[in-house]
């Protein structure tokens, strides 16, 4: 399986976080053993550490799930909200990456 590209993951996560109301971002920090920092208004709130194993997509899904919890707690609303129903989408490992999934309609929103 492909190894995680932290820069790409951080860029995609930042893009998705742009749909939330508050100011959130994800960036790669550290040079020797880089991790993704999840920031709220520029301050690191938690670290997304991915072990470079075959299970990293699973780990990323769990990490995104943590980010989702923090954002929803901050916003006191669902994020990201399913465009079809009134519920939050679920970060799900699929085909070597993590997608936002609606369990009800089995639709994937990348
Ligand atoms: Zn839905």
Convert 30-65 to b/e letters by CB count within 10 Å (16 or more is b). eeeeebbbbbbeeeeebebebeeeeebbebbbebbe
CA dihedral 14→46→53→6, nearest 10 degrees, is: 30
Q: How far is the CA of 40 from the centre of ligand 1 (A)?
A: 27
Q: How far is the CA of 69 from the centre of ligand 1 (A)?
A: 18
Give one word for 66, left, alpha or beta, with left for phi > 0 and alpha for psi -120 to 50.
alpha
pLDDT over 90 percentage in the chain: 65
Q: How confident is the model over 61-98, as pLDDT tens digits?
A: 999 999 999 999 999 999 999 888 889 999 999 888 89
Average pLDDT over residues 38-50: 92
Q: How far is the CA of 79 from the centre of ligand 1 (A)?
A: 12
In the chain, where the domains are located: 6-77
35-40 and 43-48: which strand pairing?
antiparallel
Q: Residue 60's pLDDT band (boundaries 50, 70, 90)?
A: very high
Give the predicted TM-score (pTM) of the model. Answer: 0.88
Q: How far is the CA of 58 from the centre of ligand 1 (A)?
A: 21
CA distance 79 to 2: 28
22 three-class SS = coil
Look at residue 67 in the predicted model and tell me its pLDDT. 96
Q: How far is the CA of 81 from the centre of ligand 1 (A)?
A: 8
14 three-class SS = helix
């Amino acid at each position: 399986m492909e190894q995680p590209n932290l820069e790409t993951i951080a860029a995609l996560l930042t893009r998705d976080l742009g749909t939330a109301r508050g100011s959130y971002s994800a960036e790669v920090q550290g040079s020797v053993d880089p991790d993704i920092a999840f920031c709220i208004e520029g301050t690191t709130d938690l670290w997304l550490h991915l072990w470079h194993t075959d299970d990293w997509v699973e780990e990323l899904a769990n990490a995104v799930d943590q980010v989702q919890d923090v954002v929803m707690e901050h916003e006191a609303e669902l994020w990201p909200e399913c465009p079809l129903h009134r519920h939050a989408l679920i970060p799900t490992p699929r085909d070597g990456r993590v997608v936002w999934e609606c369990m009800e309609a089995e639709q994937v929103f990348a």
